[in-house]
Amino acid sequence: MQTSNKFMDDMAKLATGAVGAAHSVKGEMEGVFKAWLDKQLAGLDLVSREEFETVREMAEKARMENEDLRAEIETLKSK
């Protein structure tokens, strides 16, 4: 036999409402934190991955040219 208990129904509704509110607050806090983090990172003057890779390639090319020139100088010195 099943009985209707008003107190238990009210508690279930309250718990359901609290879970919904907590979920909403969680989503809002994540949004606020993400906006704050984006703002902080924007102020750090960081380079993008693409810029980093471009400069790295330039440095590698310059290093190889430097080694070639050094070898050429050594060859000229030995003559």
Tens digits of per-residue pLDDT, 1-32? 455 688 888 888 888 888 888 888 888 999 99
- The pLDDT assigned to 22 comes to 82
Note the pTM of the prediction, 2 decimals. 0.47
CA 74 – CA 78 distance, rounded (Å) = 6
Please state the φ and ψ torsions of residue 47, each to the nearest 5 degrees. Answer: -95, 155
Question: Which amino acid is located at 59 in the chain?
Answer: A
Please report, for residues 49, 69, 75, the alpha-carbon distance to residue 61 in angstroms, rounded to integers and kept in the order given.
18, 12, 21
